[in-house]
Structure 1
Amino acid sequence: MSNALIGGRVGVRVTINDRSIDVEVGTTVAAALVMAGKSGTRTSVGGEPRAALCGMGVCQECRVTIDGRQHALACQTLCHDGQTICTCTTGMTGAVSMTGITNTTNTTNTTDTTDTTDTTDTTDTTGNTATR
């Protein structure tokens, strides 16, 4: 449907999770997701839904797969005709962090709080005791 008119404006057709929708040229993928009724773009490690937050690519909460390219920022990508977008929220029970680690919870306390200060008493030649 390349260059079709949508309400008198030029539009493109994109496919979001196997559902095609028509959007105006210049629409971001994040806006197209909202137009398609998607409430989230992915699922966090804790199972919480995530969606676009900052709208400028800083938070990276809007990561989706666009035309097979994973972790693309929906808020920074314009829609083009024939584009395929996958939010990967269906059937996904967690997300991989940017470092590839899925769980970074520290289950053991590795901080040693033992005081190792040497407090040796010494007596000098005048009979005074000092602690160092």
Structure 2
Amino acid sequence: MRKEDCLFCKIVAGEIPSTKVYEDERVLAFEDVSPQMPVHTLIVPKDHYDNIGDGVPDEELGYLFNTVRKVADIKGIAESGYRVIVNTNNDAQQSVHHLHVHVLGGAPMNSGDPSRK
């Protein structure tokens, strides 16, 4: 299923170019155009869901999150560590309303606590 005015649906369809990291029949992973870390990859289901609360079937969510490790391996951050983020709706700063997972890593992340490194 596709939403015609959705940026990520257009990327999945190949109508808008992206830097692909991983693709199979159910998901597409590509580089974020405004990375917040040295590694900032987005993983999207090929079917359109507005967000994680949009009645996404359990098997689809499981598949999406199981792809995170594959992307971390491809990007070389599986062992050093990475952060996984899913923003949901406007208050959480979801900028594209197509379910997507951010995989961030490639450098130490600041915890906000100066005693931690």
- Whether TM-score is above 0.5 comes out as no
Would you tell me which structure has more strand in proportion to its own residues? 1
Normalising by structure 1, we get a TM-score of 0.30
Normalising by structure 2, we get a TM-score of 0.32
Larger radius of gyration: 1
Would you tell me which structure has more helix in proportion to its own residues? 2
